[in-house]
Amino acid sequence: MISGANRGLGNAIARRLHDDGYNVSVGGRDIDALRRSMDGYDDDRVLCHCYDATQPETGAAWIHATIEQFGSLSGLVNNAGIIDTAELDVLTEESLDAMWAVNVKAPFRMIQLALPHLRTDGSGRVVSIASLAGVRVMGTFAPGYAMSKHAVLALSEATKQAGWDDGIRVTSVCPGFIATDMTKDFGGDQATMIDASDLAELISTTISLPNTASVAQLNVACRLEPHF
């Protein structure tokens, strides 16, 4: 299951996993855009389902539909997210609440719903797309977003602890800037940003590892930084 899969990184992950032989269940708010994004892929191995990170009932319905179609669940990729780049002195509580709802509470709910099925699988995988912003704060850029992504790291660690004995392995993926629609307005050169397909390849490799090779955190930088 991959959330926010109708474009950008989520779609790249869905396509890569499908190419690697997985059944994929993709979720997004715009079901028509979601179906168009997976056009040309094997309908028997793809489920497109409406999922809105701000509407808890859509997550439960998506889980149910996935199990109904494929019979089991082996992995969850929490990709859907939003950003507000406002600096600290102008960041609003409303914006912070919105990021908390989508970036933290929605993955938390999806993990809770998925855990029973992942435990049954015996080698379940959870991947949550955090950010290098979840590891460090980059000057005055997007502190609210960084706060939410720091919380994602804590959620991933808690999930790893909860599911370890049942074979669940959890990875927080922490990329720098990715060349997607989200980063077009950031002022950087997208040619020097991470290509979504490269990140999707890393994620596919990570989830394919055996239970004895757990990657807790995957930091992926596109430029020289002091600690990455």
Catalytic residues: 145
For residues 78 and 129, give the distance between their C-alpha atoms in angstroms, rounded to a whole number. Answer: 6
Cα distance between residue 112 and residue 23, in whole Å? 21
Helix (H) or strand (E) holding 169: strand 169-175
What single DSSP character describes residue 195?
P
CA–CA separation, 121 and 9 (whole Å)? 26
Contacts of 86 (CB under 8 A, 6+ apart): 92, 95, 142, 144
Per the CB < 8 A criterion, the answer to whether 42 and 18 are in contact is yes
Q: How many residues does the chain have?
A: 228
CB 9 within 8 A of CB 129: yes
Nearest to 130 by CA among 181, 159, 171, 100: 171
The residues facing 77 across adjacent strands are 2, 127
What are the backbone angles phi and psi of residue 47, rounded to the nearest 5°? -120, 125
